[in-house]
Structure 1
Amino acid sequence: MRLAGGRGNKLEWRGDWEGMVKRSATGWTAEMRIPWVSLSYPSSKQAVDMSVNFARYQGRTHTMSLWSNLTSQYFFERDGIWEGVQPPSGSFKPKLSFLPYLLPGYQDGQFTLRSGLDVRYTPKSDLTAVATINPDLGTVEGAITSIQFQRFALFVPERRPFFLEGSDYFGNDGNNVAALYYYSQQIPQFDLGTKVYGKLSPKDSFGLMNTVSFSSRNDTAASYRHQFSDTSSAGFMLVQKSANDDNNTVGVINQSTRLGKLRLDTDIALSSGRDSGGDAKHLQLTYADKLVRTELTYNDISPIFRAADGLVFLPDYRGPILVSNYNNEWRKGFFRRVNLGGALIHVWHSDGNTFARGAQFGGYLETRNDLGISLGVSSFVYDGQADATVELGLVANVSNRFRQYGLNLKVGKLADKPVTFLGPQFSTRIFRNLDITYGGSIQNLTGVQHQHILSMTYNLSPTRSIGGRVVVQNGDTNWYLAYRNSGAKGIESYVILGDPNAQRFQNQFRVKFIFPL
């Protein structure tokens, strides 16, 4: 089940729901019991119509089925309609929940003690407020950044619970490939965080977030969106960083409109503050058919546009980008699915000099015996430096994470220099409950760099596990071990040896308790 807008992971916050399936002579049947508290539903004393859909992934055939067909382009206005629903507005009561935590530990020969509090308040069924005081972000296992050569600013997925809560209400609407105007990974450890998000009306949604580090900085993100119809919306966003050594404000207006198979997304952003003052403009026309999706994009990023709490993938360029993809899948035969795509780029710096030009083409093919094959060819020139590579990937048992292994190989040149990249991977389950995952990266570009990530988890029960991770990167080694008792109602507990996010192993030991109130 996917919860609209995102929801905290604690069972008392996301709601307890039940599900059962069975096979019979007439086919496959699923039954679910979902409490209303899990849903963001409209407050109304009258019966309303609500959209609903059901998806089923069949492991035996590796196929996905939808009860109401959204087409391969996922047009959500084609969801099923649940007519005449009477939401339990009379029985809804505002709810205030607390999740205090206690974190005693031992580090560098000294005993430590840390505590904090998460608060969640739902004044309405479709409105949520959360706050966190002295949050514990250090025990959250972060994503590892790749060592591969990058022309673009690198996106790292967010895993910290406070930022995941209600994250859909703070997204960058549309399909902007030039910038994320709000990117929560830019916000480090803070002392106090508050957030409110939800629906002002059936057609109006908003989000407001603020974090404070009392000694150094304040970060704010605000977003509002109005839905004119199922296929048309517009909104704005304001993102601000105020710190002792920096200040930056970004304002954005955007809209998205789709008529049939054609969609138009536009946005314009203005920045101000330290070393800022420029704008960023984005226009994208998308044609989405049953099997083909084509996007023509024009971006114009000023050399002095800066988003301190955002992510600008490439600064100082303007020009068109053309991307087209073909996707298809088959229920019978040797091949299961295919994806073919290509891109053409020719963009300039603001002074008129060519920044980047070139093309890339690639494809992915998946067979009925669960083999995934990918091939990519690219040739670009960036500021006079040539990038030309060929990439091949093979993954066996692509849909089975308990017995999967693969290899990725890239050869060619980057920035006029020869490059070779090798990326082995595997994941397996042994002894019925021990999951092991490995991902490696070895790159030879003006010298050899390497990165190896090994993760292990032994599942004692659905809510208890012992696990850890080892990261070896260019001579540095970090590892940690942890015991987890979480995911059910009641007190949660964690025991952690080491620091999940350090560059090298840290001699520290921590125990964490979370008490739902």
Structure 2
Amino acid sequence: MRWSLVLAFTCLAGSLAAAGRQELAGGRLSTPPNLDGTVLEEEWAEAASGSGLHDAETGSPEPYATRFWIGYDDRYVYFAAQADDPTPGKIKADEYRNNANLKGNDLVGVVIDPFGTLADFNEFEMNASGGTAIRIAGGRAPKREWVGEIAAKGRRTEKGWEVEARIPWEILRLPEAGPRTVRINVYRYVSRDQRTYRWCDTRNGQVGNMARWEGVRIPPVDRRRAMKLLPFLYAGYEDEAGVLDGGLDAKMSLTGTLEAIATVRPDFRNIENDILSLDFSYFQRLTNESRPFFLEGAEYLKMGNDQKIFASQRVGSFDVGAKVFGKADAKTTVSALGLSTFGEETLFVAGVGRRFDDKTNVNIGAVLQDGDANDHRAAMVQVNRLVGATNLYFGTMLTDDSERGYGQRTNVGGFYSGGGLSAYGEYVEVSPDFFPRVGFSPEQDLKGANWRVDYTRPTRRHGLSEAGLTLSGVSYTTFGGDRYRDNLQLSTSTTWQDGLDLDLTYTKGTYFEFDDETFRVSIEKPRRDPYRRWQLDCVGGRLGGSDYQTVVASFLYRPWQRLQLSFRHQWVQQDGVREQTIFSATWDLGHDQSVSGRLVRADDDTNAYLAFRQSGNRGMEYFVVLGDPNASTFQSRLILKVAVPIDWYL
């Protein structure tokens, strides 16, 4: 029975034929195009080009034509696209900054793997306003001296919109100079339809379908060994006393594919952390990571999925830290992290990933923690294998803790997606003493299966845009054979063409002796818009042995382009009443300057902070912070922080 779900998904492998693989050739430009946002065919005549995108979920052809061009010279990769749209007035291009988040905007993106090994992918997105987003393989912190930047110009046209972009070779990890087969993909997001269209079908991890760009001559890039130093100093007033402190961040390229970063006395206190909601949960939850030191190379140090042997959010303050990450060779990624809190503990984390071919990859990782109070060891192995259109996986994790002893987690499963249908099934065992001390394991002492089936289909009938149905379930017992947790959930999602979205969810289950049952209604408009949206969520039923009700009202509003407001209020009644209110605002002053603040009231506690920032661009950074962004109550605190970038060539 344990393997029945995996075998069932394997049988689905041949049910949907993958799209044919695309190929491009040439594209070396003798004259670079004029980057003005007007795509002229004579400027792009030497570039390789393609067209004909398909829905990323259903595989159906795109409703609005997209054509793109890609070329290169010794300094840059050049990219251009023309995106047809019958109603140009509905094109969203709110974001205009470089290295921003383009979520919710109409955009085009290009994915580039210079090694051609399908192991590392760099993504570059751009919109009609020339706004850009960058995701460098392995993960980067949002600092232009470290991540680099691209240039883009875009504009609306009578037929839709178009954009031109220039990507420096030097911001990519590159193989040795010479002719290479580069792998690429191109995609487009249409905001009002909320659909993504891709040139190459890469569903279920089928990265082998990415296009082959033949004969690209990778140029020799000047990578002088420069150590990028970012010393910082902060001073101010706190707790009726003066404050003066400082630290240092540093980054260095060890080779063309390996990088190192280090930090001394890092300043994490002035970084705004996410806030967990008041939603009921039997288990521990984690917020997203926001600290730049941990964001650099984060993908290489990914030690699991829903359970992890290392989660950076579990790391508090420390004195010194260093990290090395990148590619050991074309198919192998490596990463290592070391942290020390003087006189208390040291932590070491390491990982290796190997992609053997376009269907098989293996990741291993280890954690060692030595401290005055305890010692801890952990290790993991995960194997992924693509069989047809089904991605199968196997993973195991081991922990050995001086307080909790030895523990193990093992899981095996598969997932499939095609034609609007997606499904996965998994068998998992977590021993009672599995304890990743600096990782994340919300539940232990369980064995059993979990599964999920989704069907989503775009439609134009009855004013609808999309409709979907989801059915999922969990059935776990303890290692001793006692009933632990059973759960069945049915949900529907309906989206109208004007952006209105209605989700209904019914959940029934048991958790030890508790019989749980809830019904949820969620309505929002326009769905997933990150700038202007309202949403109302209501949940009622019984959880944890008592009646449970919660109402969440939230909105995002941008009264004009440079001012973003957000508000969220949650009311919960279960053995008493709890409330949480969060209001935040960001005013973009231009020239990478902004004023932002957040007000948080949780039950009887109130906190607020206000900050001025000049950051995100090249050059000196300034921060003025009134209050403490992460305290539970307002702190009488005023801090000025200055960071000065220095390039030291070795």
Q: TM-score range by the shorter chain?
A: over 0.9
**Kindly tell me: are residues 498 and 355 of structure 1, through their superposed partners in 2, closer, same or farther at Cα, counting changes over 3 Å?**
same
User: 2: CA distance between counterparts of 1:210 and 1:329?
Assistant: 48
**Kindly tell me: are residues 333 and 17 of structure 1, through their superposed partners in 2, closer, same or farther at Cα, counting changes over 3 Å?**
farther
Match of 1:167 in 2: 298
Per-residue Cα deviation, 1:441-474 (whole angstroms, up to 9, x for no partner): 1110111111111101111115111110011001
**Contact between 1:37 and 1:125, CA under 8 Å: does it hold in 2?**
no
Letter in 2 for 1:356: R
Per-residue Cα deviation, 1:12-63 (whole angstroms, up to 9, x for no partner): 1111310112355776432111112221222x13311122223333345544
Match of 2:447 in 1: 318
2:510 counterpart of 1:381: yes
Per-residue Cα deviation, 1:68-119 (whole angstroms, up to 9, x for no partner): 2325556332222222222233533333211111111111221111111111
2:280 counterpart of 1:149: yes
1:26-37 superposed matches below 5 A: 28-37=161-170
Letter in 2 for 1:217: E
Q: How far is the alpha carbon of 1:289 from its aligned partner?
A: 2.4
Q: Which moved more, 1:45-54 or 1:163-172?
A: 45-54
**Contact between 1:69 and 1:78, CA under 8 Å: does it hold in 2?**
yes
1:124-139 superposed matches below 5 A: 124-139=255-270
User: 1: CA distance between counterparts of 2:574 and 2:328?
Assistant: 53
1:437-448 superposed matches below 5 A: 437-448=566-577
Match of 2:356 in 1: 228
Q: Which moved more, 1:449-458 or 1:83-92?
A: 83-92
In structure 2, stretches of 5+ residues that fail to align are: 1-123, 125-134
1:198 to 298, 317, 326: 326
Letter in 2 for 1:160: R
2:222 counterpart of 1:91: yes
Give the length in aligned residue pairs: 512
Q: How far is the alpha carbon of 1:146 from its aligned partner?
A: 1.8
**Contact between 1:248 and 1:276, CA under 8 Å: does it hold in 2?**
no
SS at match of 1:506: coil
SS at match of 2:628: coil
**Contact between 2:572 and 2:578, CA under 8 Å: does it hold in 1?**
yes
**Contact between 1:71 and 1:290, CA under 8 Å: does it hold in 2?**
no
**Kindly tell me: are residues 115 and 492 of structure 1, through their superposed partners in 2, closer, same or farther at Cα, counting changes over 3 Å?**
same
Letter in 2 for 1:359: L
Match of 2:210 in 1: 79
**Contact between 1:72 and 1:290, CA under 8 Å: does it hold in 2?**
no
2:394 counterpart of 1:394: no
2:461 counterpart of 1:461: no
User: 1: CA distance between counterparts of 2:364 and 2:327?
Assistant: 15
2:569 counterpart of 1:413: no
Match of 1:335 in 2: 464
SS at match of 2:218: coil
2:245 counterpart of 1:111: no
SS at match of 1:163: helix
Which segments of structure 1 move beyond 4 Å, counting only runs of 4 or more? 23-27, 71-74, 330-333
Match of 2:554 in 1: 425
Match of 1:477 in 2: 606
2:498 counterpart of 1:369: yes
2:374 to 242, 246, 264: 246
Match of 1:346 in 2: 475
SS at match of 2:294: helix
2:337 to 202, 209, 218: 209
Q: Which has the higher strand share?
A: 1
**Kindly tell me: are residues 171 and 499 of structure 1, through their superposed partners in 2, closer, same or farther at Cα, counting changes over 3 Å?**
same
Letter in 1 for 2:276: T
**Kindly tell me: are residues 61 and 328 of structure 1, through their superposed partners in 2, closer, same or farther at Cα, counting changes over 3 Å?**
closer
**Contact between 1:73 and 1:290, CA under 8 Å: does it hold in 2?**
no
Match of 2:139 in 1: 6
SS at match of 1:53: strand
**Kindly tell me: are residues 80 and 21 of structure 1, through their superposed partners in 2, closer, same or farther at Cα, counting changes over 3 Å?**
farther
Output the TM-score relative to the length of structure 1.
Answer: 0.95
Match of 2:150 in 1: 17
SS at match of 2:146: helix
**Kindly tell me: are residues 356 and 90 of structure 1, through their superposed partners in 2, closer, same or farther at Cα, counting changes over 3 Å?**
closer
Q: How far is the alpha carbon of 1:159 from its aligned partner?
A: 0.5
User: 2: CA distance between counterparts of 1:163 and 1:516?
Assistant: 19
Letter in 1 for 2:240: G
SS at match of 1:162: helix
SS at match of 1:47: strand
Letter in 1 for 2:212: I
Letter in 1 for 2:243: T
User: 2: CA distance between counterparts of 1:76 and 1:379?
Assistant: 37
**Contact between 2:234 and 2:639, CA under 8 Å: does it hold in 1?**
yes
In structure 1, stretches of 5+ residues that fail to align are: none
Letter in 2 for 1:85: V
User: 2: CA distance between counterparts of 1:90 and 1:424?
Assistant: 52
Letter in 2 for 1:83: E
SS at match of 1:180: coil
2:184 counterpart of 1:52: yes
User: 1: CA distance between counterparts of 2:468 and 2:569?
Assistant: 25
Q: How far is the alpha carbon of 1:311 from its aligned partner?
A: 0.6
Q: How far is the alpha carbon of 1:292 from its aligned partner?
A: 1.4
SS at match of 2:517: strand
User: 1: CA distance between counterparts of 2:383 and 2:407?
Assistant: 20
**Contact between 1:187 and 1:219, CA under 8 Å: does it hold in 2?**
no
Output the TM-score relative to the length of structure 2.
Answer: 0.76
SS at match of 1:169: helix
Letter in 2 for 1:130: I
Q: Which moved more, 1:116-125 or 1:52-61?
A: 52-61
SS at match of 2:300: helix
**Kindly tell me: are residues 241 and 331 of structure 1, through their superposed partners in 2, closer, same or farther at Cα, counting changes over 3 Å?**
farther
**Contact between 2:181 and 2:215, CA under 8 Å: does it hold in 1?**
yes
SS at match of 1:312: coil
**Kindly tell me: are residues 12 and 360 of structure 1, through their superposed partners in 2, closer, same or farther at Cα, counting changes over 3 Å?**
same
User: 2: CA distance between counterparts of 1:360 and 1:432?
Assistant: 40
**Contact between 2:284 and 2:442, CA under 8 Å: does it hold in 1?**
yes
2:428 counterpart of 1:299: yes
SS at match of 2:145: helix
**Contact between 2:333 and 2:354, CA under 8 Å: does it hold in 1?**
yes
**Contact between 2:382 and 2:394, CA under 8 Å: does it hold in 1?**
yes
Percent of pairs with identical residues: 27
**Kindly tell me: are residues 431 and 84 of structure 1, through their superposed partners in 2, closer, same or farther at Cα, counting changes over 3 Å?**
closer
User: 2: CA distance between counterparts of 1:73 and 1:256?
Assistant: 11
RMSD: 1.8
User: 2: CA distance between counterparts of 1:228 and 1:499?
Assistant: 48
**Contact between 1:361 and 1:376, CA under 8 Å: does it hold in 2?**
yes
1:477-496 superposed matches below 5 A: 477-496=606-625
**Contact between 1:240 and 1:309, CA under 8 Å: does it hold in 2?**
no
Q: Which moved more, 1:278-287 or 1:48-57?
A: 48-57
Letter in 1 for 2:482: N
1:54-69 superposed matches below 5 A: 54-59=186-191, 61-66=193-198, 68-69=199-200
Q: How far is the alpha carbon of 1:129 from its aligned partner?
A: 0.6
